[in-house]
């Protein structure tokens, strides 16, 4: 509440009073979202742990970096870590690219045996208790859930008791067959279109692509049902998929996500909802959760 | 009201009673959205007029077909028709592909003179009166506007008095410079990511890509600011952009959009909001306007 109040004061104050309060600064327009990101202090950023960063290299020389979400899907994330450490992902392919929906990768033969330590039938980690997440309400209404907001840098929706990751652009989920199968984490997809929020609570969501979305979203769409690539069409293959923690320290990609409990983030959300730069004529006065994905930046070397 | 009531009856009836009412049909699960589309009668579909269909052929042999929206942006649509008839679009290029945002095409030189009959400074056709549109409320809350829904097969939002097209995936808008410039229609973009609804009422929206989204969304992203292609990088060029009305009758692409005032459409929206097939475990009980884009199909020959 304090953050939002401070912010609305800044915006709502009469120009004369605002001038007095801002005497030390040059008179200026409200900061744009990018300016807020650029000026956010180091304390407003949280590093993605090396053990939570899956780095996928493709045979077309493109790289995809995915932050994993152990707070939301611990069993599936543990599976993914085991699959990565066993080298299991190497050689599997991108098999499905459905326009305005998902890009999905896995073992096209469906015969590659899983490492022995992978949990073959994980629980359905579709949601978890809201309590303990440090949830920050977005402050604008959600089209799907009672409330949407953020927790630990993740986009989250909640019914007040349970919480779940929202299926936004770049979020990563676990491919599965029909219920009650939940998938293992060996087959994953990333959202490449408008948020398919109807998948929320129907699928285990395990992470977010922090870099390399182009490598997934700019692929030719598959021509078979559900966007599956036709037999015989070349499919991008995974050369390696490693946790950053298992890469040589000097070569590890490192990312920081803006802390969703920082005042800078609160200001950023408010600025996204109320654009006031030279281009925008009529601020929306609203923002949906998938247009409020916490800013990401490469960590300083 | 009648449509929605009929539908909720179908869903909410006790199985025993539903069985009696459906005695003539085999006992069955609720229809899926695709089944509803497949079974919709010819009366549920409206043909896109040949004069409202812009057919763009690219030099990579891909084709994009765009339905224009004269009811929402008559002056800009008239400009686009004139530009097409003058052959003005031929030779212009795709200059900007920004991931999770837009693909934009226009005259990269910014020096190509416009045909004399093009209105150089059209009015800002950002919104229009709701009255007269035949608006059908979606029936689920919108994150941005007081209400969202459909009119004439278009996705629309409204404050109760004014109405505007919503910036959903595949919607086409008019590139412009800073306010109060509104653009002419010579530079256009299509949305290729999560709906940037904050653009609603800030830009003139003129149409919807009905076919060929892949040709716009699967392009390499531009590496310069705002996704602009770097100087020297090959840009897909437009070979021709014609109104279907100006093509030989036998070769015209023809599309139909599901009528948003049909009962089939009401059933489809409800089925999209309440998925009950073998895959979905927990129906969302909601759908947002951009996940309820009216179904499109090629017209029968």
Residue of A nearest to B200 (CA): A284
Mean pLDDT for the stretch of residues B132-152: 98
Q: Is residue A266 part of a domain?
A: no
- CATH number of the domain enclosing B71: 2.40.100.10
Mean pLDDT for the stretch of residues B159-177: 97
> Per the CB < 8 Å rule, is A141 touching B140?
no
> Per the CB < 8 Å rule, is B169 touching A144?
no
The pLDDT value recorded for residue B2 is: 28
Residues of chain A in contact with residue B280, where contact means CB-CB under 8 angstroms, are: 198, 202
Q: Is residue A158 part of a domain?
A: yes
> For residues B156 and B129, what is the distance between their CA atoms, to the nearest angstrom?
12
Does B82 score more than 90 pLDDT? yes
> For residues B154 and B171, what is the distance between their CA atoms, to the nearest angstrom?
10
Residue of A nearest to B194 (CA): A194
Q: What is the pLDDT of residues A162-185, one digit of tens each?
A: 999 999 999 999 999 877 678 999
> Per the CB < 8 Å rule, is B280 touching A144?
no
Residues of chain A in contact with residue B291, where contact means CB-CB under 8 angstroms, are: 194-198
The pLDDT value recorded for residue A3 is: 30
What's the angle, vertex CA B248, arms to CA B246 and CA B254, rounded to 5?
Answer: 80
The pLDDT value recorded for residue A300 is: 85
What is the total count of domains within chain A?
A: 1
Q: Are strands A136-137 and A147-151 parallel, antiparallel or unpaired?
A: antiparallel
Residue B114, classified by CB atoms within 10 Å of its CB into exposed (0-12), middle (13-18) or buried (19+), is: middle
How many CB atoms neighbour CB A127 within 10 A? 20
The pLDDT value recorded for residue A8 is: 29
Q: What is the pLDDT of residues A115-130, one digit of tens each?
A: 999 999 999 999 999 9
Residues of chain A in contact with residue B279, where contact means CB-CB under 8 angstroms, are: 178-179, 202
Look up tokens 């028709």; give the residue.
B81
Q: Is residue A129 part of a domain?
A: yes
> For residues B107 and B113, what is the distance between their CA atoms, to the nearest angstrom?
10
Residues 6 or more apart whose CB falls under 8 angstroms from that of B252 comprise B50, B53, B55, B244, B245
Residues of chain A in contact with residue B219, where contact means CB-CB under 8 angstroms, are: 218
> Per the CB < 8 Å rule, is A142 touching B142?
no
> For residues B108 and A79, what is the distance between their CA atoms, to the nearest angstrom?
49
DSSP B184: -
> For residues B9 and B5, what is the distance between their CA atoms, to the nearest angstrom?
6
The pLDDT value recorded for residue B11 is: 33
> For residues A81 and B34, what is the distance between their CA atoms, to the nearest angstrom?
37
> Per the CB < 8 Å rule, is B179 touching A279?
yes
- Model confidence band, residue B20 (pLDDT cutoffs 50, 70, 90): very low
Residues 6 or more apart whose CB falls under 8 angstroms from that of B133 comprise B71, B151, B152, B156, B163
Residues of chain B in contact with residue A189, where contact means CB-CB under 8 angstroms, are: none
Mean pLDDT for the stretch of residues A188-207: 97
Q: What is the pLDDT of residues A199-248, one digit of tens each?
A: 999 999 999 999 999 999 999 999 999 999 999 999 999 999 999 999 99
> Per the CB < 8 Å rule, is B197 touching A144?
no
Residue of B nearest to A220 (CA): B218
- Model confidence band, residue B10 (pLDDT cutoffs 50, 70, 90): very low
Tokens of B119: 């209105």
Q: Is residue B59 part of a domain?
A: yes
Q: What is the pLDDT of residues A250-271, one digit of tens each?
A: 999 999 999 999 999 999 999 9
> Per the CB < 8 Å rule, is B178 touching A278?
yes
> Per the CB < 8 Å rule, is A282 touching B170?
no
Residue of B nearest to A274 (CA): B198
Question: Which stretch of A105-109, B26-30, B123-127, B229-233 has the lowest confidence by average pLDDT?
Answer: B26-30
Question: Which stretch of A15-19, A67-71, A123-127, B45-49 has the lowest confidence by average pLDDT?
Answer: A15-19
Residues of chain B in contact with residue A169, where contact means CB-CB under 8 angstroms, are: 100, 193-194
Better-scored residue on pLDDT, B151 or A177 = B151
Residue A269, classified by CB atoms within 10 Å of its CB into exposed (0-12), middle (13-18) or buried (19+), is: buried
Does A18 score more than 60 pLDDT? no
Among B100, B213, B286, the residue with its CB nearest the CB of A169 is B100
> Per the CB < 8 Å rule, is B99 touching A214?
yes
Residues of chain B in contact with residue A219, where contact means CB-CB under 8 angstroms, are: 218
Q: Is residue A143 part of a domain?
A: yes
Residue A29 to chain B, least CA–CA distance (Å):
16
Question: Which stretch of A178-182, A226-230, B88-92, B184-188 has the lowest confidence by average pLDDT?
Answer: A178-182
Does B22 score more than 90 pLDDT? no
Q: Is residue B166 part of a domain?
A: yes
The pLDDT value recorded for residue A26 is: 52
Nearest CA to B144 among B125, B166, B177, B129? B166
Best of B140, B164, B288 to disrupt the A interface by mutation (most A CBs within 10 Å)?
Answer: B288
Mean pLDDT for the stretch of residues A4-27: 38
The pLDDT value recorded for residue A281 is: 85
**H/E stretch holding B273:** helix B263-273
Best of A182, A288, A292 to disrupt the B interface by mutation (most B CBs within 10 Å)?
Answer: A288
- Model confidence band, residue B107 (pLDDT cutoffs 50, 70, 90): very high
Mean pLDDT for the stretch of residues B211-216: 98
Q: Is residue B111 part of a domain?
A: yes
Mean pLDDT for the stretch of residues B242-255: 97
- To the nearest 5 percent, what fractions of chain A are helix, strand and coil? 25, 25, 50
Residue A62 to chain B, least CA–CA distance (Å):
12
Does B141 score more than 70 pLDDT? yes
Q: Is residue B218 part of a domain?
A: yes
**CB pairs below 8 Å between A and B: how many?**
130
Mean pLDDT for the stretch of residues B138-159: 98
Nearest CA to B185 among B97, B255, B124, B253? B124
Q: Which domain holds residue A98?
A: 47-256
Q: What is the pLDDT of residues A60-113, one digit of tens each?
A: 999 999 999 999 999 999 999 999 999 999 999 999 999 999 999 999 998 999
The pLDDT value recorded for residue B277 is: 78
């Amino acid at each position: 509440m304090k953050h939002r109040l401070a912010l609305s004061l800044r915006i709502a104050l009469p120009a004369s009073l605002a001038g007095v309060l801002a005497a030390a600064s040059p008179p200026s327009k409200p900061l744009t979202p990018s300016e807020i990101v650029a000026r956010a202090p180091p304390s407003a950023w949280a590093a993605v742990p090396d053990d939570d960063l899956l780095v996928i290299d493709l045979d077309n020389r493109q790289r995809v970096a995915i932050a994993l979400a152990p707070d939301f899907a611990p069993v599936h994330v543990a599976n993914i870590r085991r699959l990565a450490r066993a080298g299991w992902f190497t050689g599997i392919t991108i098999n499905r690219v459905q326009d305005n929906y998902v890009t999905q990768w896995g073992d096209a033969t469906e015969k590659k045996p899983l490492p022995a330590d992978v949990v073959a039938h994980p629980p359905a980690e579709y949601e978890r208790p809201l309590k303990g997440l440090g949830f920050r309400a977005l402050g604008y209404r959600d089209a799907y859930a009672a409330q949407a907001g953020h927790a630990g840098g993740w986009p989250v929706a909640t019914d007040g008791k349970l919480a779940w990751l929202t299926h936004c652009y770049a979020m990563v989920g676990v491919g599965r067959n029909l219920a009650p199968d939940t998938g293992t984490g060996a087959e994953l997809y990333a959202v490449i279109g408008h948020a398919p929020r109807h998948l929320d609570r129907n699928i285990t969501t395990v992470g977010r692509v922090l870099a390399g979305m182009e490598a997934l979203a700019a692929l030719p769409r598959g021509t078979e049902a559900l966007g599956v690539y036709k037999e015989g069409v070349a499919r991008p293959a995974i050369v390696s998929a490693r946790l950053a923690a298992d890469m040589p320290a000097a070569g590890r990609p490192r990312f920081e996500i803006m802390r969703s409990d920082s005042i800078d983030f609160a200001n950023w959300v408010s600025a996204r909802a109320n654009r006031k730069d030279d281009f925008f004529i009529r601020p929306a006065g609203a923002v949906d959760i998938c247009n409020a994905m916490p800013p990401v930046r490469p960590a300083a070397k």
